[in-house]
Every structure is written in C-alpha cells, then in structure tokens.
Amino acid sequence: MKNIVAVVGVRPNFMKIAPFISEIAKYPEDFKAKLVHTGQHYDYKMSKVFFEDLDLLKPDYYLGVGSGSHSEQTAKVMIGFEMVLEKEKPDLVVVVGDVNSTLACALTSAKLRIKVAHIEAGLRSFDRDMPEETNRQVTDVLSDYLFTPSQDANENLKREGISSEKIFFVGNIMIDTLMRYRDKAEKNKIKEDLGLIKENYALLTLHRPENVDRKDALTQIFSAIEDLQKRIKIIYPIHPRTKKKIEEFGLKDEVGSMKNLILTPPLSYIEFLRLMLEAKLVLTDSGGIQEETTFLSIPCLTVRNNTERPITVDIGTNIIVGKSPEKIIEEAFHMLNGNLKRGEIPPLWDGKTAKRIVEILIRRR
C-alpha cells in the first residue's frame, strides 16, 4: 500500500484535489490517502463550503495558517506540515497549483526525502514579479511526478532541464470537477435569486495583489468597469482582499455608485459555476477561470499583462487585456457587439485527468 498525503490551501486547490481524492478512493487496497488543509484561505465561503460542494470529507489535518507575508505564510506551512509528515510518514505527497502552500509542502517533503507529485506542473507566465512563478518553478524542480495540463507545459519543463521520465501529460484536472458538477450547478438558484437573464450579464473576479494592492491599478480597472456596467449588468463576488483595499483607498463611494455593478459575498464553487455557465462574458485575473471559460466556450477577458495558461489564448476563448481601461473597454464592447472569440477545447480536457494520474501511480508503485 502506498501512503499518500494530499495538500490544499486556497480556493482553486479544492477543485484540483477533489477528483484525485475521489479517484484514489476507488483503490483502497493500493492506496491510503490523508488530506491536509493548510488554511491559507480561512474565510468560510472560500474554504469550508468547498468541501461541502465537492463532496470532500473533512480534512485529516487543518494547519490554520491564515494570512501573512509570503515568507511568513510559507514558513508557517512548513513548520506545521513537517509535523504531519513525521507522524504520517507518507510515501508520496501530492500538491496542486502554485500557491505558497504548494511550495512550502513540496520543499518540506523534499528535505525529508519524501517523493512529491505536482498536479498542474509546467505552467509558466515568464514573469518573475509574480510570486506564483517562483512557486511553480521551485515546486517543479523538487517534484518526482510532474502531471501537466497541456503540451506547452511539457515543453517548458524540458527546456528547464527536467527529465522526460518525470513528465506526464494528463490533461486539466479542473475540468474533471467542472464536468462532474455541471448538472448540479445548473439546478442552483443563484441566477434566479439575483434576477439575472441568460447572457444578459457579465461576471467579474479580481484578487491578485498586482491588481488590488495598488490604488492606481485598482482605480484604472474600476474606471473601465464603470463604463462597462452602463452597457451590461456585472456580477462581482468580491474577494475579502479587494473589499478591504477598496475601503482603504477611499473607493467605496465610487464603487457603490455603479448601479449595474452587483456586489455579492464570496460564492461557493457551485454558485459561481452556475453564474459562469450563462454569462455573456467573464472578466478575471484568475488562472483557473481562464481554463473553465475556454472549456465552456465563454468569452474571457484576463485583466493581467500575461498568463501562465497561454493555451487559453492560443486556441481558447481568452484575451489578455492588461489593466488599461481603454483596452478593457475596447475588447468588452467588441464582444457585446457580437464579435465573440471562438475557441476549441484543448487536448485531454475531457474529465479523465484524475483517472490517468492514478493509473500512472499504480504502474509506478
């Protein structure tokens, strides 16, 4: 039996780990898995509710790390996770994504000579100003199994000198979750509760520090939103980080005056998916949402200067617009006028990624 410890820390991690946990449970004679939640996101709507939505059992360990600087958060995770590893003595640690918890748990495992599997390996923005880029690169160097979502990720790893024997192109595990819970989302009533009509609203997410921690950047983005909300209703599940910054920067009255900008608390995965399914377009700085909109053929404007998921731009529905109000408005109005970007679903984004991962682990026991 292979003892596995899987790790989650923030919202996107739950959608990535849930299919793996579900698939591994089909092989009780081969694997024993424990789930660790680092607590990097600690708000109820951004954490606990995802366990309920995605049929995940209560985590075996909750580290309760909370907020802090990158170094402080990483250090706290490493200290707490080391105690878990010393107790469980796993054969393999599975990490997902690119957050501080991902790096911290990979590094702690490697120092204890425990093998690491990285789901969603090989993604690169080539922007070292992004903390996530460092997390991705270091985690991939330390990993023994690199499970990639796209062929460009494979090429990135090979260019960086990673052995081909460690690289496995398995597809996008977030699509496993989307496909599994799409029917459930379609029955959710949040669209009706908000009085929305199909394709008569846009969906907005903003949370990245480079967008919300600087007043000039946040002001620029909201100046574009102000124009856009005059054309279409915009639903904005506001991230706690952004809400705090809006108040800190004195933008509360300005944002509150936008009559067609509907602010909601953080939404569960099912609620957000329900709204995304029938949105006219999505504006986001989230990597995962770029992938989900590409799979669903929904136009997406990414409010960033780059992306670690270029496949969503190359063959998907994603357009990079940066923070320029003029560019955001130009592309958004272009879409609202019927000029929608059409895309294709990338290879192996088929709902079977977790199955491929587990099959590889079985073969390599």
**Can you tell me whether residue 338 is helix, strand or coil?**
coil
Domains in the chain: boundaries: 2-171+349-363, 182-336
DSSP string, 17-40: HHHHHHHHTT-TTTEEEEEEE--S
Q: Are strands 300-302 and 318-320 parallel, antiparallel or unpaired?
A: parallel
Q: Of 37, 207, 239, 334, which residue is the catalytic one? A: 207
Bridge partners for 35 per DSSP = 6
Q: 182-336 has which CATH code?
A: 3.40.50.2000
The answer to whether 119 touches 20, Cβ cutoff 8 Å, is yes
In CATH, 2-171+349-363 is 3.40.50.2000: yes
Print burial letters for 15-44: b (CB count within 10 Å at least 16), e (below 16).
bbbbbbbbbbeebeeebbbbbbbbbbbbee
Question: Which residue type does 327 have?
Answer: K
In the prediction, which pLDDT does 297 show?
Answer: 97
- Per-residue model confidence (pLDDT) at position 365: 75
Please report, in tens digits, the pLDDT of each residue of the chain (365 residues total): 699 999 999 888 999 999 999 999 999 999 999 999 998 866 555 667 778 888 888 899 999 888 888 999 999 999 999 999 999 999 999 999 999 999 999 999 999 999 999 999 999 999 998 999 999 999 999 999 999 999 999 999 999 999 999 999 999 999 999 999 999 999 999 999 999 999 999 999 998 889 999 999 999 999 999 999 999 999 999 988 789 999 999 999 999 999 999 999 989 999 999 999 999 999 999 999 999 999 999 999 999 999 999 999 999 999 999 999 999 999 999 999 999 898 999 999 999 999 999 999 999 87
Which pLDDT belongs to residue 364? 86
DSSP string of 163-226, one letter each residue: -GGGEEE---HHHHHHHHHHHHHHT--HHHHTT--TTSEEEE----HHHHSSHHHHHHHHHHHH
Catalytic (active site) residue 239: no
| Phi, then psi, of 133 in degrees rounded to 5 | -65, -40
Closest CA to 66 of 9, 134, 131, 133: 9
Structure tokens at 343: 């895309």
Give the strand order in the sheet containing 167-169.
61-62, 31-37, 2-8, 92-96, 115-119, 145-148, 167-169
Inter-CA distances, 332 with 218, 305, 326, Å: 18, 16, 10
Looking at residue 255, its amino acid is V
